[in-house]
């Protein structure tokens, strides 16, 4: 007897994803500059939402303070690129481990809080980061700073090449994030996480080290979030404490995306991001009215469709795009022979 993951829908899903990836990788050749920027933005939100989903939907750690690491990643990038002459792209990959390192003492502190108090605690941490960033005058203090032209020009021989580079970087980062999450969920630890997601008390009673797993997930999520944050601000070419640690941009939107798409399923954030951007393109000019609408939709979804759009589809049709389910197949051995 063995454990199988794939279902018919996931086999189709994997094929579709592969095709989609190829098409997206070739986007610089069929898309214009605006399309590339939009796609890159979509990718970063997919990555952020997937990471938040891992934290909240699987490990049960609802954070409203992930903007702490987005901003941290951004500031690390600016510090490395401007003060230490590090290649910006390399700086992105350094931001990850730094984010993880910072996450360790943070986690040790805020893990003393439970439930909603933990959530607010994460917010406080983000506020502290924001206030500290305002004090660092060499990086612009309260008003922020722009990336010097020299650093930007040094990234690639031409502007077009730079745009292509940034696009592929966004795609690569997002694919890597999703792949890492997928690998984690497929692993033994992923099984533990899914158990925690379904029923934490029961999971604990089977001997799973819940605290340790949550801690690891928090640190890993910080790693990924910091890297994405570094990329985001490399893309923007300018950083300030208010934009770096904005609750609206990096938490509210991410939460709405994940809730509407479906918490606790890997496909949820992807679906949610697509819906979010479709809505944004449609309702572009409305400003705060748009946020108001999103808030109302999120509330409605949370109360009447708590598993999100994808959750509803899973319940009705049993689909999965990525092979993550675990089926026990009796009568087959590891070689597939009965």
Partner 1 sequence: MQWLNVILQGVLIGGLYAMFAAGLSLIFGVMRLVNIAHGDLIVLAAYVSLMVTQAFGMDPLTSLLLVVPVMALIGYGLQRGLLNRTLGDDLLPPLLVTFGLSIIIQNGLLELFTADSRKLQAGAIEIQTFQLAQNLWIGALPLIQFTVAVAVIGGLQLLFYRTALGRALRATSDDQAVAQLMGLDTRHVFAVAMALSLAVIAIAGVFLAVRANFDPAIGPARLIFAFEAVIIGGLGSMWGTLAGGIILGVSQAIGAQIDPGWQLLAGHIVFLAILAVRPQGLFPKVWG
- The site for partner 1 (CB under 8 A) is made up of 56, 60, 62, 64, 109-110, 112-113, 115-117, 119-121, 123-124, 127-128, 131-132, 134-135, 247-248, 252, 255-256, 259, 263, 288-289, 291-292, 294-296, 298-299, 302-303, 306
The least CB distance from residue 156 to partner 1, in Å, is 38
The least CB distance from residue 299 to partner 1, in Å, is 4
The least CB distance from residue 304 to partner 1, in Å, is 9
Comparing CB distances to partner 1, the nearer of 77 and 259 is 259
Q: Which residues contact 18 (CB under 8 A, 6 or more apart)?
A: none
Q: Which residues contact 14 (CB under 8 A, 6 or more apart)?
A: 6, 321, 322, 323
Comparing CB distances to partner 1, the nearer of 16 and 131 is 131
68-101 burial code (b ≥16 CB/10 A, e <16): bbbbbbbbbbbbbbbeeebebbebbebbbebbbe
Left, alpha or beta for 118 (phi > 0: left; psi -120 to 50: alpha)? alpha
CB 287 within 8 A of CB 59: no
d(CA 117, CA 129): 19
d(CA 269, CA 6): 21
The least CB distance from residue 142 to partner 1, in Å, is 8
The least CB distance from residue 293 to partner 1, in Å, is 9
């Amino acid at each position: 007897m063995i454990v199988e993951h794939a279902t018919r829908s996931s086999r189709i899903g994997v094929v579709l994803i592969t095709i989609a990836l190829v098409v997206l990788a070739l986007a610089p050749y069929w898309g214009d500059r605006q399309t590339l920027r939009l796609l890159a933005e979509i990718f970063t939100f997919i990555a952020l939402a997937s990471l938040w989903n891992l934290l909240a939907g699987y490990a049960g750690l609802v954070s409203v303070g992930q903007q702490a690491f987005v901003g941290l990643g951004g500031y690390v990038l600016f510090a490395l690129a401007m003060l230490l002459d590090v290649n910006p792209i390399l700086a992105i990959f350094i931001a990850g481990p730094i984010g993880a390192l910072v996450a360790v003492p943070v986690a040790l502190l805020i893990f003393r809080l439970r439930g909603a108090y933990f959530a607010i605690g994460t917010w406080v941490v983000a506020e502290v980061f924001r206030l500290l960033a305002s004090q660092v005058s060499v990086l612009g203090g309260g008003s922020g700073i722009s990336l010097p032209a020299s650093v930007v020009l040094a990234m690639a021989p031409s502007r077009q090449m730079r745009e292509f580079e940034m696009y592929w970087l966004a795609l690569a980062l997002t694919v890597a994030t999703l792949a890492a999450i997928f690998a984690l969920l497929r692993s033994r630890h992923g099984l533990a996480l899914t158990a925690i997601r379904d029923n934490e008390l029961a999971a604990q009673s089977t001997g799973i080290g819940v605290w340790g797993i949550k801690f690891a997930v928090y640190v890993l999520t910080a790693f990924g979030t910091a890297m994405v944050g570094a990329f985001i601000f490399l893309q923007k070419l300018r950083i300030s404490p208010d934009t770096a640690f904005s609750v609206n941009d990096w938490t509210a939107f991410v939460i709405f995306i994940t809730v509407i798409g479906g918490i606790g399923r890997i496909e949820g954030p992807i679906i949610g991001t697509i819906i979010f951007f479709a809505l944004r393109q449609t309702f572009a000019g409305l400003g705060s009215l748009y946020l108001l609408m999103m808030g109302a939709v999120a509330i409605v979804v949370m109360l009447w469709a708590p598993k999100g759009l994808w959750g509803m589809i899973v319940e009705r049709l049993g689909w999965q795009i990525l092979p993550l389910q675990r089926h026990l197949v009796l009568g087959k051995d590891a070689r597939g022979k009965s």
